[in-house]
Structure 1
């Protein structure tokens, strides 16, 4: 589930909804703006567009506003130049997906050797038995989605058969976290990557596998998005040879994220905070409603 900032902009979300409409119409020409708004609301864990707007208005009313001139002052102190306009979303635009491919391809073409250990979060998986225990905990807690989790277990465990082959792989420096929410359009129309904290060792194949699950499966699997991403990548580098094992790291990260999110929904860190508990509940439901599947990953290989 995507996170709203503390002070979200409804105009920003309207722009995202219009961009998303274009994506929906790539596979369904009859899709409407209301369909796009509803899908975007689900991305943010809200039941519909009015609920998303209400949450934005609530945060706008409660969050302190930065004093006028603060952004300009900070830009001057750090030598960032002049502010030209607010940051713009790119995650749902065809050009945004193409630029993302170019960004990945540019980094991979450098082939900077990396000897740092791979982050355990993306290579270590819980035993399958832990998922059945998690289902039992959800049932004991009276969660309304416990049986949905039970029905999904075969598909989740089927993902365990998709493993990354990294024993003999040549590792290079990769961003590892260049997801749609971490990029913006710069003032000259270029893509700006805002998150490098998790940069580390991977292979080009494994990072492309991660990228495809973030850039081309929202709100659903989109072959045209895959083609746009691949086109951008091919502008600067050779497209890596992909198979199901290329998604091994992406699978592990998603399984761990999903397991942890469900654990937190069952046992919130602060049960006296209803807002936090509600967020955790929505995130768990969102993951169960739109799970990663082997069939979905196989579709990404057909380009």
Structure 2
């Protein structure tokens, strides 16, 4: 599920449709623009292209606003200068709404981060981000406050800042093979510059990629969803008793290669386009210990399994990785254990959020995710098909 920005650009959506058309024609040369427009509309949660265009007009006419004090206090916290204009809304994400802040010293992208993301976490992510930028990866330049901190508490939330960077439309499924190949090159570049880590992954230890909710917690989620009268209770039960249990049975295997501090979230929703099929990586906050094999499995899942993926995307990602690194990690079902754990936790958390949502933004986001999780579930069969495809 994709989400329109707060002030959507219809020209960007047209470009997204043209990009999707290019990918569709790789599989079906007879595909036409209306097919791509319908695919774009569907990914944004609309039945038709005209319905999507109508929502664009509605959003542009009623953009969200922020208290003037928020702009002033963010500028003061990060020493960004004197505010010149009200905050401009950019988009609502799973961590909250991001804004453009203009001061007499320039323009900035400001956004909230999760409560657990303190300065140590973001500083680590920022070091990787700067290493990757130096190696040619396109990414915004992070900003720190006078005291060196990358995270500041403002109006009850943790915030971080990047220098403003202009970039193009979002990337939607299916992606052209040229884009998927570039994803592989970028991932290999990040692995090339990643900092070494002595971390050892311990299954079921605390952490989004390792902890798994136990049976009692899933039962409580189902009972609470049912008690709240939510219409997706039966869907949650079917997921839990079906595909999620099969995913849980995939065994864990300790990495044979050294761990590194890597980006940990190179998914299709965390990039924007740039000229010549280049990509801008806009989300680095989850950076942490990973091994290249496991992260490659994660990237393949998001670019070649989720959504209406291009049948050639997986092979293109691997080809791009090899172009940069010379070789690519071997994969088997156990390579996806961390990806599966992340999916289990994402599923659990989105059902919680949809049930307990506060405000229209959070409710709309969570319910959109539920529609995707229910209609297009991640399965072991899809992993097996991907691995078979890579052997062809």
- Whole-angstrom distance in 1 between the partners of 2:59 and 2:104: 24
Specify the alignment match of 2:9 in structure 1. Answer: 9
Does residue 1:294 correspond to 2:326, yes or no?
A: no
Call closer, same or farther: CA 1:49–1:164 in 2, change over 3 Å: farther
| Aligned equivalent of 1:239, options 328, 345, 362 | 328
Matches within 5 A, 1:1-303: 1-29=1-29, 31-63=31-63, 74=106, 86-90=167-171, 92-110=175-193, 112-115=195-198, 120-153=207-240, 154-166=242-254, 170-186=258-274, 190-237=278-325, 238-268=327-357, 270=358, 273-274=359-360, 276-301=362-387, 302-303=389-390
Of Structure 1 and Structure 2, the greater helix share is in: 1
Call closer, same or farther: CA 1:279–1:55 in 2, change over 3 Å: farther
C-alpha contact 2:259 2:291 (8 A) present in aligned 1: yes
Question: Could you list the per-position Cα deviations for residues 232-252 of structure 1 after superposition, in whole angstroms to 9, with x for gaps in the alignment?
Answer: 111011110100111111111
- Whole-angstrom distance in 2 between the partners of 1:169 and 1:250: 17
Call closer, same or farther: CA 1:240–1:73 in 2, change over 3 Å: same
Structure 2: gaps spanning 5 or more residues:
66-85, 89-101, 109-139, 143-163
Higher relative contact order, structure no. (Cα contacts within 8 Å, ≥ 6 residues apart): 1
C-alpha contact 1:84 1:187 (8 A) present in aligned 2: no
Q: CA deviation at 1:207?
A: 0.4
Considering only aligned residues, what root-mean-square deviation do their CA atoms show, in Å? 3.3
Of Structure 1 and Structure 2, the greater strand share is in: 2
Q: CA deviation at 1:57?
A: 1.5
Q: Secondary structure at the match of 1:7?
A: coil
- Whole-angstrom distance in 1 between the partners of 2:369 and 2:238: 18
- Whole-angstrom distance in 2 between the partners of 1:143 and 1:33: 38
- Whole-angstrom distance in 1 between the partners of 2:185 and 2:230: 43
Aligned pair count?
296
- Whole-angstrom distance in 2 between the partners of 1:30 and 1:188: 25
Output the TM-score relative to the length of structure 2. Answer: 0.66
Output the TM-score relative to the length of structure 1. Answer: 0.83
Q: Secondary structure at the match of 2:3?
A: coil
